[in-house]
Amino acid sequence: EACGGAATPAILGATGRLPLTDREREVAMLLGTGLSSRAIAERLRLSVRTVEGHIYRAMAKTGVSTRAELVALLPRPGR
């Protein structure tokens, strides 16, 4: 039986790479710069609904419940 503890946000952060697609990671990084879903959609030429879907899936994959928690998991330069 697999242990679900290996997929907790703290463990994911400690082991490095998050289990996100390139697009989910890109959207999350833009979210971390303070852009709104609408601004991200305009920049990437996607619909707002598509951007929010990427955010939702990234949050589900990492086990977080807020956008701020998702952004906190992202790698930062010098960290």
Please tell me the distance from the alpha carbon of residue 39 to that of residue 15, in angstroms, as a whole number: 31
pLDDT in tens, 36-52: 999 999 999 999 999 99
Overall average pLDDT of the 22-48 stretch: 96
Instruction: Give this prediction's pTM.
Output: 0.75
pLDDT in tens, 52-61: 999 999 999 9
Please tell me the distance from the alpha carbon of residue 16 to that of residue 62, in angstroms, as a whole number: 12
- DSSP category for residue 4: G
Check if the beta carbon of residue 37 is closer than 8 Å to that of residue 50: no
Q: Please check the confidence at residue 11 and state whether its pLDDT lies above 80.
A: no
C-alpha distance from residue 18 to each of 48, 54, 67, 68, 69 (Å): 23, 14, 15, 16, 13
How many Cα neighbours within 13 Å face the side chain of 63?
12
Give the right CATH number for 4-73 from 3.40.50.2000, 1.10.10.10, 3.10.450.50, 3.40.50.1860.
1.10.10.10
